[in-house]
Amino acid sequence: MSAQFENRFSDYTHQFAATAARANRLALENAESVFGLQLKTFEKNVNATTDFLGEFAEARDFGTYQTLWPKGLQVARDNLERLASANQEVVGLSLKASEALGQLAKHQFETVTDQVQASAGKAGKTGRGK
């Protein structure tokens, strides 16, 4: 009886560890995707801003500064749009990851429930036979 309990406990522990490892992997993949997306957005924004600042530094007269003003506002607007778009993508990626984690947890609960019901059915049959 003790060996049977130890085997079941060992099986459940192994199953829990495998599920935890899968959940960890999903979370890390999500974090990697989010970080990569944010890094690309940051890089694009920095490039656009430095290009504008380079043009601004080369300006020598008031007329040039007047033409650069709308361009600077457009660069700022584009940067904010890229940032907003990236944030929306981050939310989408996070929702997909949480959905996958939910499916993993649901599968785990269903598996354990089936195993408990099966072992309860076996115990009920052996108890009646005595």
Q: Which long-range contacts (CB under 8 A, 24 or more apart) does 15-18 make?
A: 15/108, 15/111, 15/112, 16/108
pLDDT tens-digit readout, 79-119: 999 999 999 999 999 999 999 999 988 888 888 788 777 77
Compare 59 and 130 and report the one with higher pLDDT: 59
Is residue 127 very low, low, confident or very high in pLDDT (cuts 50, 70, 90)? Answer: low
CA distance 61 to 55: 12
pLDDT tens-digit readout, 17-47: 888 899 999 999 999 999 999 999 999 999 9
Return the pLDDT at 70.
Answer: 93
CA distance 75 to 78: 5
CA–centroid distance for 5 within its chain: 37
> What are the distances in angstroms from CA 83 to CA 47, 64, 67, 90?
14, 28, 25, 10
Q: Which of 4-8, 71-75, 82-86 has the lowest mean pLDDT?
A: 4-8
Return the pLDDT at 123.
Answer: 64
Mean pLDDT of 69-76: 94
Q: Is the pLDDT of residue 6 over 90?
A: no
